[in-house]
Amino acid sequence: MTRSETSRRGRTRASGAAWAITPLVVVGTLVLLPVAAVVVAGLGTEALETILAPSTWRIVAYTAAQAVASTVLSIALALPAAYALYRLALPARRTLLAVVTVPFILPTVVVGLAFREILPFAGTTAAIIVAHVFFNVGLVVRIVGGLWGHLDERLIDVSRTLGISPIRTFTRVTLPLLRPAILGAAALVFLFTFTSFGVVLVLGDPSLPTIEVEIYTATAQRLDLPAAAGLALLQFVFVALAVAWSMRLQERASVRQHLGDDERRAPVASAWDRACAAWTWALAAAIAIPLLALVARSLRVGDGWGLAWYREAFSPADATTRAASAAESLALSLQYAAVATLLATALGALACAGILAAGRRGAWIDAALALPLGVSSVTIGFGLLLVSLRGPIDMRGSWILVPLGQALVALPVVIRVVLPLLRSVDPRMRQVAATLGASPLRAWWATEGGLALRGIAVAAGLAAAVALGEFGATAFLVRLDAPTVPVQIVRLLGRPGEANLGVAAVLSVLLLVLTLVIVGAAERIRPRRSGGW
């Protein structure tokens, strides 16, 4: 390669990476500034003492151990379901996919309470891991299955004609092609479980807190800002290192390949196919149990059944503390989620373009944009509140703070869904299309466009669902007289009385229905073929 070609390629990568400037600025401003505000508010020798304390490192070790166990189990249990849902012609496939995905975006506190009623070993580490798998297995199915469904079937056919066993075909052919998506999903699950809050708060042993729970306790209950600052810094460093390492592994594992049509699905024929199909149905049934428990709780009134709590939710009685009706909370949540989805999807698309254009340096952009996962949502929300109070612009009570916080949480999800798909497209296919006379836009659409829009549509649906169910940051930013649905649910759960629990269950059911609608719509609003809609 000549010096001029090298220089031209370097300039091309630099100009392409400029697409990621806007997402980097947004993430840097809305993550680093809040973290800096929390640190400045409580930085000092006390924070250093917290970091060096043996009890802190016991909390770190416990947090990491339960996160690793949750990640390994989530990946192992999700792979057969991802194969069945994206490679086989299963009946009621879309319904199964929606059911499996729903738990990921439900309010963690509510589902934690449902598991407390169901699990006989609630209050243990095992209960935390079971709940984490419940929440994250659908995310793994979506991310890994999204790539698995596009793998070129001819590679598998060639392996079979050579007499290679199905197990060896999977380990030698399929698994290496899926490794980028698996690593991306594993990184997300680890980060979500490492920074888990609601599940540990409700199902965990109070004597074994995670870093996130300890940050919340130090901030909201003890008002110990130095301790919270020390824990937040420690959490940030550990997760940033984990993100950088996992993204590096994912980039190295990327394989350029020709992707097929995800609408082509084989009939259930072999014993392995039947086993994966049965496992998928069993997984969906297991996921439905706590969700059905929520529905039953919303209909149970005293010793009987009825719709009293639904009437109370939509028309709260006067002189009660349930001032916001279900309709008001739902409308507000949908407005916030719509803005957050637009922000997260637009920033995620720009980020993916910049990461791919930057080549090897894109791994650092990818790691930087995953920072919201490495920072406590409690810290982000509390920090944004401090910035709005002490910054140059007083944003107290501003509605934009809530969707900004939600968009930060959803942005890494958008990137993790879209990026593995785009990384698997051989860029030479676009060059071939161009040599055949296709215009640049037509060449892009024929090779990458349909696949990119499909990934963006799915990512937008997940981002909307994540925004609807976000609680940690929203709790600090939402106005007291205008709560979102998750905030209203948690407030009700903290108050005594059967009516409060019943209305909380009603709101949970309504949020569940909204989630099903959003995920189902995201699955349908997408390109049906690689060359069109």
pLDDT band at 528 (very low <50, low <70, confident <90, very high): very low
The answer, yes or no, to whether residue 77 has pLDDT greater than 90, is: yes
- Choice among 60-69, 118-127, 348-357 with the minimum mean pLDDT: 348-357
The answer, yes or no, to whether residue 375 has pLDDT greater than 50, is: yes
Euclidean distance between CA atoms 63 and 46, whole angstroms: 22
The answer, yes or no, to whether residue 321 has pLDDT greater than 50, is: no
Euclidean distance between CA atoms 360 and 338, whole angstroms: 34
The answer, yes or no, to whether residue 37 has pLDDT greater than 70, is: yes
Residue 427: CA atoms inside 13 Å, Cβ hemisphere, count?
5
Q: What is the largest CA-CA distance in the chain?
A: 82
Euclidean distance between CA atoms 85 and 358, whole angstroms: 33
Q: What per-residue string of b and e applies to 38-71 under the rule 16 or more CB within 10 Å gives b?
A: bbeebbeeebeebbeeeebeebbebbbebbebbb
Q: Would you state the pLDDT for residue 183?
A: 83
Place of tokens 């922000």: 343
pLDDT band at 78 (very low <50, low <70, confident <90, very high): very high
Closest CA to 490 of 204, 192, 292, 201: 201
Q: Would you state the pLDDT for residue 72?
A: 94
Place of tokens 């407390």: 116
Euclidean distance between CA atoms 328 and 322, whole angstroms: 12
Q: Would you state the pLDDT for residue 236?
A: 74
The CATH code of the domain at 12-265+276-524 is: 1.10.3720.10
Rounded mean pLDDT of the chain? Answer: 76
Q: Tell me the two tokens of residue 357.
A: 């254009």
Euclidean distance between CA atoms 226 and 56, whole angstroms: 13
| 433 or 12, higher pLDDT | 433
* Strand-pair partners of 257: 425
- How far from chain centre, in Å, is Cα 134? 13
Q: Would you state the pLDDT for residue 499?
A: 83
Q: What per-residue string of b and e applies to 225-240 under the rule 16 or more CB within 10 Å gives b?
A: bbbbbbbbbbbbebbb
Q: Would you state the pLDDT for residue 69?
A: 95
The answer, yes or no, to whether residue 7 has pLDDT greater than 60, is: no
Q: Is 194:67 a contact under the CB 8 Å cutoff?
A: yes
Closest CA to 218 of 205, 231, 233: 231
- Choice among 48-52, 373-377, 453-457, 480-484 with the minimum mean pLDDT: 373-377
User: Regarding beta strands 304-305 and 300-301, do their DSSP bridges make them parallel or antiparallel, or are they unpaired?
Assistant: antiparallel
Q: Tell me the two tokens of residue 408.
A: 């930060």
Closest CA to 441 of 452, 454, 455: 452
- Choice among 66-75, 89-98, 419-428, 429-438 with the minimum mean pLDDT: 429-438
Q: Is 100:519 a contact under the CB 8 Å cutoff?
A: no
* Helix, strand, coil % over all residues of the chain, rounded to 5: 75, 0, 20
pLDDT band at 376 (very low <50, low <70, confident <90, very high): low
Return the number of other C-beta atoms located less than 10 Å from residue 1's C-beta: 7
Interval 357-377 mean pLDDT: 71
Q: Tell me, what DSSP letter sits at residue 376? A: -
The pTM for the full model equals 0.70
Euclidean distance between CA atoms 31 and 339, whole angstroms: 18
Q: Tell me the two tokens of residue 297.
A: 């709780």
pLDDT band at 280 (very low <50, low <70, confident <90, very high): very high
Q: Would you state the pLDDT for residue 365?
A: 77
Q: Would you state the pLDDT for residue 74?
A: 94
CA dihedral 105, 107, 113, 115 (to 10 degrees): 10
3-state secondary structure of 304: strand
Q: Would you state the pLDDT for residue 203?
A: 83
Q: Would you state the pLDDT for residue 319?
A: 44
| 252 or 287, higher pLDDT | 287
| 35 or 348, higher pLDDT | 348
Euclidean distance between CA atoms 465 and 487, whole angstroms: 15
Interval 252-279 mean pLDDT: 68
Interval 264-275 mean pLDDT: 78
- Using alpha carbons only, how large is the chain's radius of gyration in Å? 24
Interval 481-493 mean pLDDT: 80
Interval 272-294 mean pLDDT: 88
Give 440's contacts (C-beta < 8 A, 6+ positions apart). Answer: 434
Euclidean distance between CA atoms 166 and 160, whole angstroms: 8
Return the number of other C-beta atoms located less than 10 Å from residue 121's C-beta: 10
- Choice among 323-337, 399-413, 474-488 with the minimum mean pLDDT: 474-488
15 residue type, one letter: S
Q: Is 429:435 a contact under the CB 8 Å cutoff?
A: no
Give 318's contacts (C-beta < 8 A, 6+ positions apart). Answer: none
Q: Would you state the pLDDT for residue 89?
A: 82
Euclidean distance between CA atoms 418 and 437, whole angstroms: 28
* Strand-pair partners of 425: 257
Q: Would you state the pLDDT for residue 261?
A: 46
pLDDT in tens, 152-179: 666 666 666 666 666 777 776 677 778 8
Q: Tell me the two tokens of residue 523.
A: 């699955």
Euclidean distance between CA atoms 344 and 26, whole angstroms: 11
Q: Would you state the pLDDT for residue 128?
A: 92
- Choice among 55-64, 211-220, 422-431 with the minimum mean pLDDT: 422-431
Q: What per-residue string of b and e applies to 382-411 under the rule 16 or more CB within 10 Å gives b?
A: bbbbbbbeeeeeebeeebebbbbbbbbbbb
The dihedral through the CA atoms of 248, 368, 405, 472 has a sign that is positive
The answer, yes or no, to whether residue 529 has pLDDT greater than 50, is: no
pLDDT band at 366 (very low <50, low <70, confident <90, very high): confident
Place of tokens 């920090």: 383
